[in-house]
């Protein structure tokens, strides 16, 4: 599943193309792409047509495109996107051939870049688009990365801030861990505690911080939690610089290009290979419906 770096690469690619653009028309080819939308395909298409997109924002793995209000007393809305397991948001030229697994297409006109098409393609149909109301953030800080507005789609309010968000609170994260008996990896994957970290980057961050994935969160010292946050941020920033991690053709940016962070992994997917730090074989164990990869020597359980 795409994680924060993959989604941020998509957001950053979309932003210059959609900010200030007018939606000329929307075409829903598969209503399964609107599972989180309250309404039908016709309403989705009609609501978007003629609207101006104000930018592209992200919180965790959610993206949204805020829409300019048609009247001063109207509630603010946004197009919310979740890529699911295989969703893609692609930029294409006007009239470009239908993409394989294309579900929704937005035809837009940008004042500088001219006409473009924003295509939502999704092989496994777990991703979605929706028009949702924007609501104020409880802390008054920007709702998501990429925009300054202190608002967030109602569907995203339960998602915690991610560790690259300027408004992320290290102290609040430490307090949350102190109350958790769950394994630290389970907490890292809990999007209501910290967002944007999935299986790959959790394994990589825990390896870098020398923390066993099954260590109870509350057993970690303040120093260990601080070290973990440093490594989480380092891993995410490095992945961002390399365009994300790509293991199959689904994980691409808006131009269809894959990321390269997979070549920099130290633990994830390296079962039986020597640990880059100590040389002991990396092991793989079952973890809920996933797997954990770690070094049994460097990452001893507390």
Tens-place pLDDT, residues 248-264? 344 455 555 544 455 57
Total of domains in the chain: 2
The number of C-alpha atoms within 13 Å of 102 and in the hemisphere containing its C-beta is: 18
The answer to whether the annotation marks 284 as part of a ligand binding site is: no
Per-residue tokens: 165:
């968000």
pLDDT above 60: residue 298: yes
Mean pLDDT of the 89-99 span? 94
Task: Tell me, yes or no, whether 143 and 63 share the same domain.
Answer: yes
The whole-angstrom separation of Cα 147 and Cα 300 is 41
Q: Are 282 and 271 in contact (CB under 8 A)?
A: yes
Task: Tell me, yes or no, whether 198 and 132 share the same domain.
Answer: no
Q: Which of 6-15, 236-245, 265-274 has the lowest mean pLDDT?
A: 236-245
Q: Which of 2, 153, 163, 213 is catalytic?
A: 2
The answer to whether the annotation marks 101 as part of a ligand binding site is: yes
Q: Is residue 189 part of a domain?
A: yes
pLDDT tier, 247 (very low <50, low <70, confident <90, very high otherwise): very low
Q: Is residue 290 part of a domain?
A: yes
Task: Tell me, yes or no, whether 232 and 254 share the same domain.
Answer: yes
pLDDT at 288: 79
Task: Tell me, yes or no, whether 111 and 142 share the same domain.
Answer: yes
Based on the residue annotation, tell me whether 297 is a catalytic residue of this protein.
no
Task: Tell me, yes or no, whether 77 and 130 share the same domain.
Answer: yes
Other residues' Cβ atoms within 10 Å of the Cβ of residue 47 = 17
Q: Which of 9-23, 58-72, 177-191, 261-275 has the lowest mean pLDDT?
A: 261-275
Q: Which residue has the higher pLDDT, 106 or 251?
A: 106
pLDDT at 122: 94
Q: Is residue 241 part of a domain?
A: yes
Task: Tell me, yes or no, whether 248 and 213 share the same domain.
Answer: yes
Task: Tell me, yes or no, whether 33 and 101 share the same domain.
Answer: yes
pLDDT at 266: 94
Tens-place pLDDT, residues 214-233? 999 999 999 999 999 999 99
Mean pLDDT of the 34-51 span? 96
Percent of the chain with pLDDT over 90: 78
Mean pLDDT of the 15-40 span? 96
Among 60, 196, 33, which residue's Cα sits nearest to residue 130?
33
pLDDT at 243: 65
Task: Tell me, yes or no, whether 94 and 221 share the same domain.
Answer: no
Based on the residue annotation, tell me whether 185 is a catalytic residue of this protein.
no
Q: Is residue 74 part of a domain?
A: yes
- pTM of the predicted model as reported, rounded to 2 decimal places: 0.89
Q: Taking the C-alpha atoms of 98, 103, 107 and 111 in order, what is their torsion angle to the nearest 10 degrees?
A: -110
- Decide which of 122, 156, 190 is a domain's last residue: 156
Q: Please, what is the average pLDDT of the chain?
A: 91
Per-residue tokens: 37:
């939308």
The answer to whether the annotation marks 124 as part of a ligand binding site is: yes
Tens-place pLDDT, residues 142-191? 999 999 999 999 999 999 999 999 999 999 999 999 999 999 999 999 99
Task: Tell me, yes or no, whether 102 and 63 share the same domain.
Answer: yes
Q: Which of 3, 8, 54, 102 is catalytic?
A: 3
Task: Tell me, yes or no, whether 149 and 218 share the same domain.
Answer: no
Q: What is the 3-state secondary structure (H, E, C) of the chain?
A: CCCHHHHHHHHHHHHHHHCCCEEEEEEECCHHHHCCCCCCHHHHHHHHCCCEECCCEEECCEEEEEECCCCCCCCCEEEEEECCCCEEEEEECCCCCCCCCEEEEEEEEECCCEEEEEEEEECCCCCEEEEEEEEECCCCCCCCECCCCCEEEHHHCCCCCCCCCCCCCHHHHHHHHHCCCCEHHHHHCCCCCCCCCCHHHHHHHHHHHCCCCCCEHHHCCHHHHHHHHHHHHHHHHHHHHCCCCCCCCCCECCCCCECCHHHHCCCCCCCCCECCCCCCECEEEEECCEEEEECCCCCCCC
Q: Which of 16, 284, 290, 296 is catalytic?
A: 290
Q: Is residue 50 part of a domain?
A: yes
Per-residue tokens: 204:
């990589």
pLDDT at 250: 45
Based on the residue annotation, tell me whether 61 is a catalytic residue of this protein.
yes
Percent of the chain with pLDDT over 70: 91
Q: Is residue 299 part of a domain?
A: no
CATH number, position 22: 3.20.190.10
pLDDT above 60: residue 17: yes
Tens-place pLDDT, residues 179-210? 999 999 999 999 999 999 989 899 999 999 99
Mean pLDDT of the 113-118 span? 96
Other residues' Cβ atoms within 10 Å of the Cβ of residue 185 = 25
Per-residue tokens: 106:
């937005």
Q: Which of 51, 61, 103, 185 is catalytic?
A: 61
Q: Is residue 300 part of a domain?
A: no
Q: Is residue 302 part of a domain?
A: no
Q: Are 206 and 197 in contact (CB under 8 A)?
A: no
pLDDT at 4: 85
Task: Tell me, yes or no, whether 71 and 189 share the same domain.
Answer: no
Q: Are 250 and 267 in contact (CB under 8 A)?
A: no
pLDDT tier, 85 (very low <50, low <70, confident <90, very high otherwise): confident
Task: Tell me, yes or no, whether 141 and 174 share the same domain.
Answer: no
CATH number, position 196: 1.10.8.50
- Decide which of 156, 186, 213 is a domain's last residue: 156
R_g of the chain computed on alpha carbons? 20
Q: Are 22 and 33 in contact (CB under 8 A)?
A: no
Residue 175 structural domain: 170-294
- Decide which of 156, 179, 208 is a domain's last residue: 156
pLDDT at 86: 86
Which residues partner with 285 through β-bridges? 292
């Amino acid at each position: 599943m795409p994680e924060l770096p993959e989604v941020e690469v998509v957001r950053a690619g979309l932003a210059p193309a959609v900010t200030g653009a007018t939606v000329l028309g929307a075409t829903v080819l598969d209503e399964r792409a609107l599972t989180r939308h309250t309404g039908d395909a016709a309403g989705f298409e009609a609501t978007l047509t003629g609207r101006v997109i104000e930018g592209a924002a992200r919180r965790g793995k959610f993206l949204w495109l805020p829409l300019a209000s048609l009247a001063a007393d109207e509630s603010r809305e946004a197009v919310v996107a979740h890529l699911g397991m295989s969703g893609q948001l692609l930029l294409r030229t006007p009239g470009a051939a239908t993409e394989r697994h294309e579900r929704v297409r937005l035809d837009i006109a940008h004042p500088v870049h001219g006409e473009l098409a924003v295509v939502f393609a999704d092989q496994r149909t777990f991703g979605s688009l929706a028009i949702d109301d924007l609501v104020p953030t409880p802390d008054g800080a920007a709702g998501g990365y990429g925009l300054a507005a202190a608002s967030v789609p109602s569907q995203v309010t339960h998602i915690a801030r991610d560790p690259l968000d300027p408004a992320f609170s290290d102290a609040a994260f430490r307090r949350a861990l102190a109350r958790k008996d769950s394994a630290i990896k389970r907490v890292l994957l809990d999007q209501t505690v910290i967002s944007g970290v999935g299986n790959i980057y959790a394994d990589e961050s825990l390896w870098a911080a020398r923390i066993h994935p099954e260590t109870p969160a509350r057993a970690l010292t303040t120093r260990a939690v601080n070290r973990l946050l440093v490594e989480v941020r380092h891993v995410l920033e490095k992945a961002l610089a390399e365009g994300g991690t790509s293991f199959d053709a689904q994980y691409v940016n808006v131009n269809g290009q894959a990321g390269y962070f997979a070549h920099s992994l130290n633990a994830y997917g390296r079962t039986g290979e020597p640990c880059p730090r100590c040389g002991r074989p990396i092991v793989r164990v079952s973890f809920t419906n996933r797997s954990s990869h770690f070094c049994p020597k460097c990452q001893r359980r507390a």
